[in-house]
Amino acid sequence: MKRSWLTGTLGMVVLVSLALLQAGGCATGSRKPASAASDAEALAASKNFHTITGKFLEYVLSDQFNAESCSPFLNEVYSQIFAAPVSYFDLSHLDAEATGIIRNLFRTRLEMRRKLALFSVAGAATEECVNSMRNVLRAVRFAEDYVGEFQVRPKPFDAKNPAIAFAGAEPHTMVNSYYLPFDIEANVRSGDVLLSRGAAFTSAAIARLGDVDSQFSHAALVYIDSETHEKYTIEAHIEIGVVVAPFKKYLGDGKVRSALFRYGDPVLAHEAARIMYEKAKAAMDRKENIHYDFTLDVKDHSSIFCSEVVATGFEEASKGRVMVPMFMSRVTPKNRSFVDRLGVTATQSYMPGDTEVDPRFELIAEWRDFSRMRATRYKDAVLTKVYEWIETKNYTFDPTAFTKAASGVAWVLRHTPFVGLLLEEKFPPYMARKILETIGVLNDTVSPIEAKLAKQDEARIRATGFPMTAHELYEELERMREEDQKTYASGGKSLFHKIFHP
């Protein structure tokens, strides 16, 4: 089996580390850029990825990584992250060093968050630093996914037997060393927050609604009954609103990735969970589930979206003293056509990934299903480019008559007595027809794009032994758009321009 396919990602890992060292020399003001460049060249000359990721970690642990250097330093890292010269690096020791690389990267993420906590306590955590950290945390996780996929060599995804969240040792489940040995059932606490990512395109779309992308599309709050010790999650779903469910259901419902976060005050966290459990359970018992909030208005709790479950619990438990998250996402695209179609009115909100940059929550453990990582990368790349085309090229969705009719029929049936019960867990009766139509046309648009991208990537692997890096996926999607636009303009059968075009 060829192993050279990982060069792209390891090159990316190298570049992250390389850029960190380069930026570090400039950030402190005590070293000249030329000296930093020389150090970086010396590091790259070793071509040893384990050494490089170790240096990455050392830099983040050092005093050079501070509130002042945070944003410019991380911006330099992120701006270069997809431009690594993949053919330069030696992968001969990857089998022996993959575990060490992933450990270094995971610990680096932990240490970046601890530094953010220090910046916050000092009142020095700027929005610029936080957003730069969002980008690098996402990019590092992306690299971990690649390296882990190489190491695990997963079997194809089996929809009949989805992986159980937090099952399996590293690299499937990476654990903060303070919480070893780790078992999710034994170690979870009431008030813990679970972030996750689903496999659908809507999950990729939600993860990218904020101005800065995330890799999480859903948040849940854990509640443990003090008397029975039964474990539950409180979650808000688009389809059914706010619900309470057994904890085991969360673990086994086919997630792509999940991360466990814990607030520093366990008493307050438990009270937040209890309040939301009782609120959701009482509504369910009346068969009047709290409605899902499509507007993403985190201040109005009459209807609630997923991460608002967490925000509402902590706000009410603390009587307004603790507002979560510490740093909200901005939802301010220049072209609001897509978010407007989804019913989103907020310009600032609590997106699930905001928990990752709230240093009051500690990352306990993180899990991923490697059999679904490649498909998830495709979806992420496609949605990133779709949003970019909406933003920069004025693309808009233009549903076919069939999609409009199908969404209209579904909407009518959902409001028809007895028949509507068959669609009860598909979408709520209060979902606007326009939102239903938008979700339909989104899937109609992106599904064929993903399928073609997957074929192109598979052909690349067969020809060269390398899958596309993120940057290469974006380039391929841009070529695909240009070709499809020409086909559409000439009257040919286009892949997606008939329903998604300027």
pLDDT in tens, 316-369: 999 999 999 999 999 999 899 999 988 999 999 999 999 999 999 999 999 999
Are 70 and 112 a contacting pair, CB within 8 Å?
Answer: no
* pLDDT band with cut points at 50, 70 and 90 for residue 2: very low
Q: Distance between CA 46 and CA 42 in Å, rounded?
A: 7
Selected residue with higher pLDDT from 4 and 493: 493
For the whole model, what pTM was predicted? 0.88
Distance CA 480, CA 402 (A): 25
Residue 150 has pLDDT above 90, yes or no: no
Instruction: Count how many Cα atoms sit within 13 Å of the Cα of residue 70 in the half-sphere of its side chain.
Output: 25
Band (pLDDT 50/70/90 cuts) for residue 416 is very low
Q: For residue 20, is pLDDT > 50? A: no
Domain ranges of the chain: 4-152, 173-371, 398-501
pLDDT value for 406: 54
User: Given a cut of 60, is residue 420 above it in pLDDT?
Assistant: no
Residue 156 one-letter amino acid: P
Instruction: Flag whether pLDDT at 232 surpasses 90.
Output: yes
DSSP states of 343-370: T---SEE--GGGGGG-TTEEEEEEEE-G
Higher pLDDT, 29 or 307: 307
- The pLDDT of 458-467, averaged and rounded, is 82
pLDDT at 24: 36
**340 alpha carbon, distance to own chain's centre:** 22
DSSP 154: P
Q: E-assigned strands of 152-217? A: 173-175, 193-197
pLDDT value at position 225? Answer: 98
Write the pLDDT tens digit of every residue in 445-457. Answer: 999 999 999 999 9
The CA distance from 26 to 70, in Å, is 11
Q: Is the pLDDT of residue 41 over 50?
A: no
* Fold that domain 173-371 belongs to in CATH: endopeptidase fold (from Nostoc punctiforme) (3.90.1720)
**Higher-scoring residue by pLDDT: 84, 388:** 388
Rounded to whole angstroms, how far apart are CA atoms 66 and 118? 9
Q: What is the average pLDDT across 106-116? A: 97
| Mean pLDDT of the residues in the chain | 84
Weakest-pLDDT range from 3-12, 128-137, 404-413: 3-12
Closest CA to 427 of 437, 109, 418: 437
- The helix or strand, by DSSP H or E, that contains position 396, with its residue range, turns out to be strand 396-397
Q: What is the DSSP string of 215-273?
A: S--EEEEEEE-TTT--EEEEEEETTTEEEEEEHHHHHTS--SEEEEEEES-HHHHHHHH
The reported pLDDT for the residue numbered 56 is 80
According to the model, what pLDDT value does residue 46 have?
Answer: 61
Q: Name the helix (H) or strand (E) containing 96.
A: helix 94-121
Q: Residue 399: pLDDT band by 50, 70, 90 thresholds?
A: confident
* CA 104 – CA 112 distance, rounded (Å): 12
* pLDDT > 90? residue 471: no
Per the structure block, which two tokens stand in for 49?
């990825």
Is pLDDT above 70 for 172? yes
pLDDT tens digits for 55-106? 889 889 999 889 998 988 778 767 764 455 455 556 677 788 999 999 999 9
pLDDT for 12 beyond 70: no
Selected residue with higher pLDDT from 97 and 464: 97
